[in-house]
Amino acid sequence: MKDMQEEKRRIVILAEGFFGDLEAKTASGLIMYKPEEVVAIIDSTKADRSVEDILGFGGDTPIVATLSDSLKYRPSALLIGIAPRGGKLPSEWRGVIKQALENGLDVINGLHDLLNEDPEFSALAASRGATIHDLREASKYNTVAIGDPSLIEATVVLTVGTDCKTGKKVTSIELAKEARKHGFNPHFVATGQSGIAIFGEGVPVDSIIGDFMSGAIEAFLIEKSKTYDLLCVEGQGTIVHPGYSGVTLALIHGSLPDAMILCHYPGREIVKSYEVKIPPLKEMIQLYEDLTRPIKPCKVIGVSLNTQELGDEEARAEIEKVEKETGLPAIDPVRFGCDKLMKAL
């Protein structure tokens, strides 16, 4: 399989009907951190507009209605930029993927459905010299965690959340960028398909057999700690999520963090897709700290807020409110920088 990073990619992103929404966070993440690699977006509901029009960043990268419309921009790969619930491949996307492979485009797939295991897609890729990158392929992970914090030589910071899609990935990336300014040799550790799509490596924790989830992230951190002195681990889900809490706990036990940062989306009161009330922030902080205590006690050192739907004054007011409520430094790391969190660390 060709390495995703061996040459500069020219990516067209499939985000049909969802570009700009939280469901298309893989698309938004790639545009935020690797804009030079994105040549077009496919979303017929927003065609003929630019990425900047929808996201407020990303420049004049075009949005087109079909894959055929994107070919004039000479893409080398199609990225599935939407993460539907459960990670299943919608039947209506098959035609777009097939057309991409027929045109010799690689396919970068973050779904749980592995496209290399689809006979039609794998045969088509082989015949056209294309490569399918299944980001959630997890068959190689088969080790149970050791649970010894001394084996990870670097400082580990784990982002944890009050819900899904609260900014855990972005906070970890921004913290790593800020840490470099402070003299650290940091590394962002991707644990989901979006982060892996952006940076080309990571551990697809939610695809790994339950017994091996903690072991997979632990082994990855042990290896990376031989090179880096600060590992910023992307959290997943939330411990109060009925569907995804197992992944959250696996990351806590596998990464054995030295510090945690709580990520929250202001105004959200219910866990997405469930009627589960999100506890007050102080209760969430206590819950996460209690979970670490038996193996390696760890504190939440700050709160990261995703204020993308608020104006600047509203965002600053929310930050002040959260700092009073929790007694911890709070910030939106994209909007106002990560210096507060770095100082807390």
Domains of the chain as residue ranges with CATH: 11-134 (3.40.50.720), 149-344 (3.40.50.300)
State the pLDDT at residue 276.
93
Antiparallel, parallel or unpaired: β 230-233 and 155-161: parallel
Residue at token pair 């952006």? 198
State the pLDDT at residue 7.
64
State the pLDDT at residue 2.
47
Sign of CA dihedral 19, 24, 28, 34: negative
Phi, psi values for residue 48, rounded to 5°: 75, 10
Q: Residue 297 is encoded by which pair of tokens?
A: 């006690």
Q: Residue 124 is encoded by which pair of tokens?
A: 């088509």
DSSP classification of residue 50? B
What sections of the chain are H helices per DSSP? 25-33, 51-55, 67-70, 94-102, 119-128, 168-181, 193-199, 213-224, 245-255, 281-292, 312-326, 333-336, 339-344
Q: Residue 50 is encoded by which pair of tokens?
A: 């630019």
State the pLDDT at residue 86.
65
Q: In degrees, to the nearest 5, what angle opens at C-alpha 126 toward C-alphas 65 and 37?
A: 45
State the pLDDT at residue 22.
67
CB 135 within 8 A of CB 234: no
Residues composing the chain: 345
State the pLDDT at residue 222.
98
* 10-residue mean pLDDT series, the chain (345 residues): 62 88 80 92 90 86 94 96 76 92 96 94 96 94 96 98 95 97 97 93 96 98 98 97 95 98 95 90 98 96 95 96 98 95 94
Q: Residue 237 is encoded by which pair of tokens?
A: 């889900």
State the pLDDT at residue 344.
95
